[in-house]
Amino acid sequence: MKIKTEAGERHVLAITVDNEAGVLAKITGLFTARGYNIESLTVADISSDHALSRITIVTNGPPPVIDQIIAQLDRLVPVHRVIDLADGGAHVEREIALVKVAGTGDKRIEALRMADVFRAKVVDTTLTSFIFEITGNSDKVDRFIALMRECGLVEVGRTGVVAIGRGSEAL
Amino acid sequence: MTEMSGADMVVQALVDLGVDTVFGYPGGAVLPIYDALFNHPTIQHVLVRHEQAATHAAEGYARSTGKPGVVLVTSGPGATNAVTGITDALLDSIPMVVLTGQVSTALIGTDAFQECDTVGITRHCTKHNYLVMDPDRLGPILHEAFHIATHGRPGPVVIDIPKNVQVATGEYVVPEKIQHKSYRPQVEPDADAISQAIDMIAAAERPIFYTGGGVINAGPDASAALRQLVSLTGAPITSTLMGLGAFPADDPKWLGMLGMHGTYESNMAMNRADLIIAVGARFDDRVTGRLDAFAPEAKKIHIDIDRSSINKIVPVDLAIVGDAGRALDALIAAWADKGHRARDLGEWWRRVDGWRATRCLDFPEKKDAGADIMPQRAVKALFDATRGRDPIITTEVGQHQMWAAQHFGFSAPNRWLTSGGLGTMGYGFPAAVGAQIAHPNRLVICIAGEASLQMNIQEMGTVSQYRLPVKIFILNNEWMGMVRQWQELTYESRYSNSYSDSLPDFVKLAAAYGWTGLRIDTLGELEDGIKTMIETPGPVIVDCRVAKLANCFPMIPSGAAHTDMILQPSDVTGTMDDEAKALV
Ligand SMILES: Cc1ncc(C[n+]2csc(CCOP(=O)(O)OP(=O)(O)O)c2C)c(N)n1
Ligand SMILES: [Mg+2]
């Protein structure tokens, strides 16, 4: 007997929560316990009194599962609001990657040229390495990292996605 | 506002919240609270013999009264022992507040003696939990915890209190009105949805009500409203295991329980209905059977207080988020406002009556006095003997539980206490203890299996200590009958580890604890035995020997559709494919 899995679609959820101990564990635990996917997760406190945090989760699942995820998140006591950014029309997504490339000669020059094309900034350099900072949507970051593999990539750190809806309305 | 110790605040908050009973077990990390409870004038502490039993007793108390159950246990093993009951309460939506002691704040995270990460362990088996690091927060947190446990979909809330927080002093603050920052469950149903729903109900040709534990949780008024709405519409009604009692079993519109061990008529009616009105029920896999064959012809209206229950398993046509009682009241009002009249459902009832004619709950039995007692007969005899006494019935988990659900008729809510969602063996006896504490003068009977009972049998001591007249009626088949039945049906009768070997002599055990013990061996002894049990003051254990190999029918095998019920032993093949075996 084979275990079946279903194809899904990518959704970006913005969740406002009480900034209290354990809330992140509660949310990630809900995903693991119910078998939902997390592609990326970012969290930071967003209010002046440090009372609220915003969690951005990129997840993947068929539409009914996405609805369930939202309903399940919504009923957690410390959760204030859950927004599916795909629902509200257009939104902006960004992530930052720090990309370390080591090498000399042509590879080093090529890396620098690619960084320029991608508008990645050099934030640290030695004679044999660069650290680039690149900002953009996940696709762009992916493509840049893929190119850097050819140019001596040694290490990558990524923030995961933050996202916000376009226009004047607030969440 | 007054300065007092954390422990005194806890007790003061319990008093202010109207708590009269706490089920618990002491230990190092809760000694300050135990000291504050010493000789307390209004709060009775019930000392159990195992923390799991404290949680089930609290559930029994809660389910039989509608009030939250309260538990007090120590850190480490006290807290971990409570986890099963906490999870049970989560799955069955039982309001419960569990206070756990914790090591002092400075020791947290050091693997201190009897330290465990209680909030971590209980994070996903509670509705919410707290670790209180500051005594000033105790008042607000306790009040908020009771609010959360009892509002919206009820559930268990854990409050973990380090020992130094219990000892330190602070200000006891009572919040004026609990308006949680983020937790605001929707109780009032949407008026448009109600209006649509009532039109659908009025127009349906083959409607059926499918109700669950949510109606019980919504209080006795919700059960009354349900009766009224059913009678207005003339539709048949079935319910889940958890919903028994919300609608009287002797009403002609009652089809019995549905699902895996439900009646043929209720499952067939669900399958052929053109409208299902689900009220406070959650389309559990035990109820739906094979999903792609579930109620194929029906539009579905789903009333539930928990939005995440809606469309979780079965997509519905109309969702109504809100309290079951309010929604039923609103439907009744809308029925009158719109001048709806009950349709002629004669044709539908004729079909239902046709399914009823299979008499699916009948069972073969010999009638002579020396015959083996069929377990179903024992339940029926118990039901007959307790009619008019309004008993509270609890069960353990297994065949006996299903037979009780099938053959004991309930006519009011809060009389039927069983572990549905988690199916916890060891629930029934402590739940009976909790119910008896709440209703000292009522007849409380635990219908038990001999295997389940042994999971919390130590509570016989608790019963003796508090002089509770709890009755335990064991349907003793010498097997983990439900496991044996599945092995017979699915694994060609290879009875791997399902025999109840080395059973105690329950009559002698009763004597050892100062109870009355009785044994019933044959059909001829059944009625008198039950009568003696009921009439004997104080706690009684009845070892009722029943036919050992009886199976619980009807049954929808796992993975089968409502229409594929096994009605009798001769329908059984004894094997199952892997697909079906993979389903529990
Ligand atoms: C704590 C726990 N462990 C295991 C099970 C699995 N289980 C379900 S029914 C059952 C047998 C119950 O036997 P008994 O109490 O004698 O009841 P019977 O089925 O014979 O009426 C078992 C082991 C369970 N439900 N709960
Ligand atoms: Mg048994």
Residues A118 and A54 placed together within one structural domain of the fold: no
Quote the number of domains for chain A. Answer: 2
Q: Is the pLDDT of residue A86 over 90?
A: no
Q: Are strands B96-102 and B237-239 parallel, antiparallel or unpaired?
A: unpaired
| Residue B224 in tokens | 């009354």
Position B574 confidence tier, pLDDT thresholds 50, 70, 90: low
Pick the range with the lowest mean pLDDT from B26-35, B89-98, B561-570.
B561-570
Domain assignment present for residue B584? The answer is no
Q: Is the pLDDT of residue A73 over 80?
A: yes
Q: How far is A66 from chain B (nearest CA, A)?
A: 11
Position B572 confidence tier, pLDDT thresholds 50, 70, 90: confident
| Nearest of B447, B64, B434 to residue B245 by alpha carbon | B64
Residues A74 and A16 placed together within one structural domain of the fold: yes
Residues B325 and B276 placed together within one structural domain of the fold: yes
Residue where a domain stops, chosen among A56, A84, A112: A84
User: CATH number, domain at B428?
Assistant: 3.40.50.970
Domain assignment present for residue B566? The answer is no
Residues A79 and A120 placed together within one structural domain of the fold: no
**Percentage of residues in chain A with pLDDT exceeding 70?**
96
Q: Is the pLDDT of residue A7 over 80?
A: no
Picking from B108, B124, B305 by the largest number of A CB atoms within 10 A of its own CB, the best residue to mutate is: B124
| Nearest of B477, B466, B471, B480 to residue B518 by alpha carbon | B471
CB distance B315–A64 less than 8 Å?
A: yes
Residue where a domain stops, chosen among A20, A52, A84: A84
Position B493 confidence tier, pLDDT thresholds 50, 70, 90: very high
pLDDT, tens digit, for every residue of A90-116? Answer: 899 999 999 999 999 999 999 999 999
Residues B302 and B429 placed together within one structural domain of the fold: no
Residues A112 and A79 placed together within one structural domain of the fold: no
Domain assignment present for residue A168? The answer is no
* pLDDT recorded at residue A23: 95
Domain boundaries, position B269: 191-356
User: CATH number, domain at A113?
Assistant: 3.30.70.1150
Residues B321 and B399 placed together within one structural domain of the fold: no
* pLDDT recorded at residue A50: 92
Quote the number of domains for chain B. Answer: 3
Residues B206 and B306 placed together within one structural domain of the fold: yes
Residue where a domain stops, chosen among A50, A84, A118: A84
Which residues fall within 8 angstroms of residue A21, CB to CB, at 6 or more apart?
Answer: B131
Domain assignment present for residue A74? The answer is yes
Nearest ligand (C-alpha, residue B552):
1
* pLDDT recorded at residue A169: 82
* pLDDT recorded at residue B584: 63
Determine the Cα–Cα distance for residues A22 and A37; give it in Å rounded to an integer. Answer: 20
Question: Dihedral angle at the C-alpha atoms of B49, B51, B57, B58, nearest 10 degrees?
Answer: 140
CB distance A77–B182 less than 8 Å?
A: yes
Domain assignment present for residue A169? The answer is no
Pick the range with the lowest mean pLDDT from B23-32, B263-272, B362-371, B551-560.
B551-560
Contacts of B308 in chain A (CB under 8 A): 68, 71-72, 74-75
Q: Confirm if B22 and B43 have CB atoms less than 8 A apart.
A: yes
Q: What is the mean pLDDT of chain B?
A: 96
Residues A62 and A129 placed together within one structural domain of the fold: no
Average pLDDT over every residue of B135-161: 97
Domain assignment present for residue A38? The answer is yes
Q: Is the pLDDT of residue B569 over 80?
A: no
Q: Is the pLDDT of residue A88 over 70?
A: no
Domain assignment present for residue A171? The answer is no
* pLDDT recorded at residue A53: 96
* pLDDT recorded at residue B106: 98
Domain assignment present for residue B143? The answer is yes
Q: Is the pLDDT of residue B371 over 90?
A: yes
Q: Is the pLDDT of residue A1 over 70?
A: no
Which of A26, A71, A78 faces B308 most closely, judged by CB atoms?
A71
Q: Is the pLDDT of residue A171 over 90?
A: no
CB distance A77–B312 less than 8 Å?
A: no
Pick the range with the lowest mean pLDDT from A117-131, B168-182, B395-409, B487-501.
B168-182
Q: Which atom of ligand 1 is nearest to the CA of B448?
A: 15
Residues B403 and B530 placed together within one structural domain of the fold: yes
Pick the range with the lowest mean pLDDT from B112-121, B179-188, B384-393.
B179-188
Domain boundaries, position A47: 3-84
* pLDDT recorded at residue A87: 74
Residues A80 and A7 placed together within one structural domain of the fold: yes
Residues A80 and A14 placed together within one structural domain of the fold: yes
Average pLDDT over every residue of B69-89: 98
Residues B9 and B136 placed together within one structural domain of the fold: yes
DSSP string covering B193-205: HHHHHHHHHHH-S
Q: A104: buried, middle or exposed (CB in 10 Å: 19+, 13-18, 0-12)? A: exposed
| Nearest of A139, A147, A125 to residue A95 by alpha carbon | A139
- ipTM > 0.95 (yes/no): no
* pLDDT recorded at residue B488: 94
pTM of the model as a whole? 0.95
Q: In this structure, is the dihedral angle defined by the CA atoms of residues B70, B73, B79 and B83, taken in order, positive or negative? A: negative
Please give all residues whose CB falls under 5 A of ion ligand 2, grouped by chain where several chains appear.
Answer: B 449-450, 477, 481
CB distance B312–A29 less than 8 Å?
A: no
Q: Confirm if A44 and A34 have CB atoms less than 8 A apart.
A: no
